[in-house]
Structure 1
Amino acid sequence: MTSKKYSEVNFYAILGIEIEADESTIRKAYRKKALECHPDKNPDNPKAAELFHELSKALEILTDKSARTAYDNVWKAKKAAELRNKQLDSKRQKLKADLEKREREFHNNLQSNKTFQTAHKSDEDILQEQIERLRREGSRLLEEEQAMLKEQLQKSLAEHMQQQNTNNSTYRLKIKWKSDKKDPLNGGYSQENILTYLKKYGDIIALVMSKKCGSALVEFKTLESAEMALAYEKGLVENPLHIEWITPPPSDIENQRKTTVTTTDYEDLVMRKLRQAEERKRIIEQLQKEDL
């Protein structure tokens, strides 16, 4: 959008404000719209940059007294002309077109005559001069608003990333057990049997066995699953597991989730453990029979 076309753009409509709006209202509307359509927040929208540029121009022109006066004069004249056009019938439209043609020819003749080069300036010319002035001088207010917008976007992004990091670490647990470096059985634990112990509490995103003996990391899909495993899983009786948070959940989430671990949850867990014990007993008996 070149400066010559600014007179054809309704900056008030772009900002969603009335023509009588004061500077405070204009700045408030700009911040709201700019945050919504900023190119950094809309990387897949090719028109976001163009709209953001129009918003910036709207702020620049409408907060500069001289530029706004020139713009309003042009815009009001256009609206008045549109209203008059609607009231004209076809014959008068033709007469109007002829008249405008003669006016343009007369204006061109004036421009070609050096004596009249400094003659009366149109509203369009005045608006163009004001836009050129803003381009040369820059808009201090626009720079301030865009600096504030950039700071707000960066803060929003940082908060979002921090929240993501918090959420990811909330469901990760560290698992430890006794194991000698020379023990090929790693204290009786492998990735397979640890996974068997833990998956009954809920979906597991990842289970990583540490290169160091007697250590592993697990990430659960939900906070409830992680809390259940932390509270109830002991592993092998002869070599129990010790489970702890990698990063404890925020206190408000932890307090909220504590209320959801009910007696029913515990009873369900006990039943699962009993079924697990029965299954182990059945497998042992079967193995003993096969040995015989």
Structure 2
Amino acid sequence: MDIEIDHYAVLGLPSGEQGSKLSQQEIKKAYFAKSLVLHPDKRPDDPNAHENFQKLKTSYEILKDEKGRLAFDDLLRVKREKALRQSQHSTKRRKMMSDLEERERAAFASESGGKDRDEEERIVRKLREEIARIRAMNANRGGMPDVSGKKGDAKRKDSSSSGSYGGGLDKERVLKVTWDRIGGEDYSAERLRELFREFGEVEDVVIRTSSRKKGSALVVMASKDAVVTTTRTVLGDLQNPLLVVPLQPPVAPTFTSPPEPVESNTPDLSNLVGAGFQAFEDSVLAKLRKAKR
């Protein structure tokens, strides 16, 4: 049961008072590190891999939600106080020698125990309500993005008609970023996040497995406008620029009559698929390097 699980321990974090002081950034960092280890793609021989990964996601969803985390911290606090009182009562019990003292202690323990049970039951109900709300919210938005970064995942479906990518993300908010690994130079996820943050909020950066000569990543922006602005800009180091294209170009509006042709310097990305997409990448990168010489 989710009530009996220490969600901090599931993410490999300290629990109790130390856990309640952790920042959301520390919790998110621990989740991504743990998910890379427990992802079913990384543990093909483990029959419990999928179940363990789902438990990890559930614990992360509870801790990253403000109300859910407060309810869980309250439950841990009550359990700590209950254990402390029981320990103190146990010590007193050993010291009590007379029947009168034993009856007084028993009466006190009964009264305080009833209060403990009432408060614990109240917080348990509250935590269950928050867990149900979090699950319903995640079900409506389609879950969390896949962080495995592995190509050829048999469970990932190409749903271009629905406009989603790996966990319900809108493809029109996802950028594909590629670069040459010149002289061993590379871009980290933090470096990419820093570059793209200038154009809007960055929700996620996933470095994808690629060849030794080329690097590749997916950058999830918070808005489609940020995607449009970013694709019109040259990013990265001058000696090793980034090629940035939308994972799915915006759908062109339908006109009742053919619109007047408009000249534009923005490349048409609507037909860039398969080998054509790779050829476009190589061509643009070559032009950028030539222009910087």
TM-score when normalising by structure 1: 0.40
Select the structure that is richer in helix: 1
Select the structure that is richer in strand: 2
TM-score when normalising by structure 2: 0.40
